[in-house]
Chains A and B, each alone.
Chain A
């Protein structure tokens, strides 16, 4: 048993006796009543991985159905349920909670705080997600099946859904409440609990990106809650916010949804930027280039994300000025995003690089995410978007930024911090296999989708004209490979580490890594920084 599962195992340093001094629950009570940021972080990460697997199975059902023309496995109604639930589960169940898990584990360690500011709210925000997730997944077994209106839940199609739609809305409300509590916790922790000497502009990039992300979450989750509440009252209480039959406007739903939805995209990528900003300098053995501009770029992206939402809606028929405004604003986002990529490459430039698995994932992230960024720039052009909106080109684009972006950054972060979390080194050979396997199968899956989209294959189609067959087959084969790689990751990387099998990790397993998390032993003791540490001038080391 590793330290993650058992704080009473081999724990180095003088913190060990602290664990016994504090009486905390054991067994299942340790997890149910968890108030320790490390335990809650672990819970978040395991939960999100479970959801990743469930969402992944749905994706593979979709890909199996699309392997060839004709309906072989599911009927069109079930197909729509699969696409809808794949999206909802991956966005709200996998990517978002996973980043909260990283935040729980790493923010207190990186800023030298004893724990998160609101330990019990932290517990509550995790455990709220369990009933929500159960309700979401169980909606498949409700009369009429799961919601089938797409993860965007466009009105008035939502008005035609069965009772599972209400379950879905309720689940999203709970997940939203959980996110808001998590965000409040993160903001308060970062603003109030930094070790003396760690000014905001000396703070690690991951904390910066999460601070900004948390503000985004607080700003937009209530907007989503509003949109789906209006959907709910339209369904049951005779209102007509989005129902044209009663004078409502279905386009208003889209405006409200995307006012949430676009910042949401950055909620899912900014923490990824933060992780990459730690991994690249560590393995280039060189300080992050342009720290200040990285902070400003992150903030600019966050602010711009509020004024670009309608680029998801070019095909709804906006006036010329509307299309032009949203086109210009969207294209502008590529500037701060470009700055980030340039800064990472400048960090690598004339470094002394090695390519352990975290670095491989980070470089893979920069390379493949940028492809998603470029297709995003192309999609931002209204005339081109009119051709590509709602086709597989869009599907390819957002999987390049969400899988090759967010998920790869999380893999980079997991490999980077796994020694700190578990006290055990993962197998470098298996990690590299996971990286190359994922990189290749990912591109086999999603690259052909660009061609399908350009050729005009609409998304969310259960069956398609036969000319699209070959690329669909290639994508399906790649998808199964990609799915297997992630099972491999859990069985051969995560599980052995959690069981403590492998080389014991030193306190600082990466010689180029900087930051307070490397100032505590591996695995990180149950309690860290119970008294504020004394920091050096750069706030990267403990002195005295």
Chain B
């Protein structure tokens, strides 16, 4: 046996070297991803919400309590294993029952469990309180991408699809992806939210069950087809945070990541502006020159926004001015009406700048050619664009 020892030693060294080279070979070139996983991370993500903080505290509390019990109980067991063995001359005792002890070790764990449950209860209640959100976003799971719709709050109306970077998917198929810090986590359109605001995420799905998870926020909520559920977070710092789909949803389950970009309030506002413009631009060609009948048809639809106050007949009511016969509407100079629609008035008319240039041009054209207004004037989208900003 002794003669074999150096051989085993050599073999052990070889194994160790192999493992280290295999392990470090891949990991060397990869760095921690801020807001995503760190290399060889052994703990929960660094929390950036109060809930995630509470979860981590609970986890530490549970882990240390369990560890203490574990060490205590198995300390006794291993003491017994080393002391009470026949080779040490131990003679078996004859006891096999004690009601007192049985009651004791039923009651004590019971109270330990209650002590554990109390702080957890508080966090459960906080986790489930999705009321009074500043911003509500619907996250829809599709096979295999996420759709985000800003339902309420700043950015209302924005909607887009978020898909894994195609290059990453190909790299996965190639079998030997180059080292990347955000491998399988890079998307084309991240979800963008403001910092320090309560964000309510409503989840639903288009086909099968998905789950919306962002570990740094401490949220995970199944997205169910045909049903809506919600969760919430309030990020305490700006940055990029990553998660992945957490419910088996078919073939490409591993390829529908979640990337949340948390911006400061001003950056977020700027993003909303830019995004709206981008979406508006996508919807209609702003340089298109429209013919009157098309513009009127479109304008009639948009007018439903206006009819709430100005009424379908354009007569207005009370403080709401009539559009029918209004000098501003009939004016051949379109500037005044365009800026009124875009910016609203001090008298109470709201701003309608979130409508697209085409919609505003159409609705203005509609008012100029409806009821008793027969001006024949046309407002084109680019006229409106000129008045923006």
Give me the interface of A with B, judged by CB distance under 8 Å.
68-72, 76-77, 80, 148-150, 154, 156-157, 160, 244-245, 248-251, 284-293, 315-317, 319-320, 323-324, 327-328, 331-332, 334-336, 338-339, 341-342, 345-355, 363, 366-367, 370-371, 374, 377-378, 381-384, 386-387, 389-391, 451, 454-458, 460-471, 473-474, 477, 512
Contacts and interface: CB of A to CB of B under 8 A. Distances in A.
7 contacts: A249-B227, A290-B98, A374-B66, A377-B62, A451-B42, A461-B253, A461-B254
Nearest to B212: A315
Interface residues of B, number: 111
Interface stretch (B85-93, B152-160, B325-333): B85-93
Contacts of A347: 96
Given A319-B128, A454-B44, A467-B41, A381 B96 contact: no
Interface stretch (B239-247, B268-276, B311-319, B356-364): B239-247
A350 B180 CA distance: 58
B96 A290 contact: yes
B84 A349 contact: yes
B378 to A, nearest CB: 45
A316 B117 contact: no
A147 B125 CA distance: 38
B22 interface: yes
A387 B110 contact: no
Contact of A323 (B30, B124, B183): B124
Contact of B230 (A317, A352, A370, A389): A317
Given A345-B76, A350-B84, A384-B62, A71 B102 contact: no
Nearest to A460: B248
Could you tell me the dominant secondary structure of chain B's interface residues?
mixed
A346 B102 CA distance: 10
Given A349-B80, A352-B86, A386 B219 contact: yes
Contacts of B244: 456, 458, 461
B172 interface: yes
B58 interface: yes
A495 B59 CA distance: 46
Contacts of B40: 451, 467, 470-471
Given A353-B80, A458-B245, 20 more contacts: A68-B26, A70-B177, A71-B175, A250-B225, A250-B227, A286-B92, A290-B102, A291-B96, A315-B211, A354-B86, A382-B124, A390-B211, A451-B40, A455-B37, A455-B41, A456-B213, A463-B254, A464-B184, A465-B36, A474-B23
B387 interface: no
A342 B246 contact: no
A73 to B, nearest CB: 9
Contacts of B133: none
B79 to A, nearest CB: 9
Nearest to A313: B222
A76 B74 CA distance: 42
A363 B81 contact: yes
A463 B184 contact: yes
Nearest to B101: A346
Given A76-B251, A370-B73, A156 B209 contact: yes
A317 B231 CA distance: 8
A15 B110 CA distance: 52
B8 to A, nearest CB: 14
A175 B33 CA distance: 47
A350 B93 contact: yes
A80 B80 contact: no
A345 B83 CA distance: 13
B117 A454 contact: no
Interface in B156-187: 171-177, 179-185
Contacts of B249: 157
A366 B77 contact: yes
Contacts of A292: 97
B95 A289 contact: yes
Contacts of B302: none
Contacts of B222: 315-317
Nearest to B40: A470
A253 B95 CA distance: 49
A90 to B, nearest CB: 17
B11 interface: no
B73 A320 contact: no
B39 interface: yes
A260 B92 CA distance: 43
A334 B211 CA distance: 29
Interface string B109-137: 11001001100110111011000000000
B45 interface: yes
B37 to A, nearest CB: 4
Please list the 7 inter-chain residue pairs (A to B) with the smallest Cβ-Cβ separation, ordered nearest first.
A244-B226, A317-B229, A455-B41, A350-B93, A287-B96, A456-B215, A383-B123
Contact of A465 (B37, B70, B106, B224): B37
Nearest to B31: A467
Contacts of A468: 37
B12 interface: no
Given A381-B58, A467-B38, A387 B80 contact: no
B220 interface: yes
B58 A335 contact: no
B90 A454 contact: no
A451 B37 CA distance: 11
Interface centre among A149, A324, A377, A469 (most CB of B within 10 A): A469
A458 B97 CA distance: 46
Interface string B1-27: 000000000000000000100111011
Contacts of A363: 77, 81
Contacts of A284: 84, 92
B220 to A, nearest CB: 5
Contacts of B27: 466-467, 469-470
A327 B246 contact: no
Nearest to B45: A456
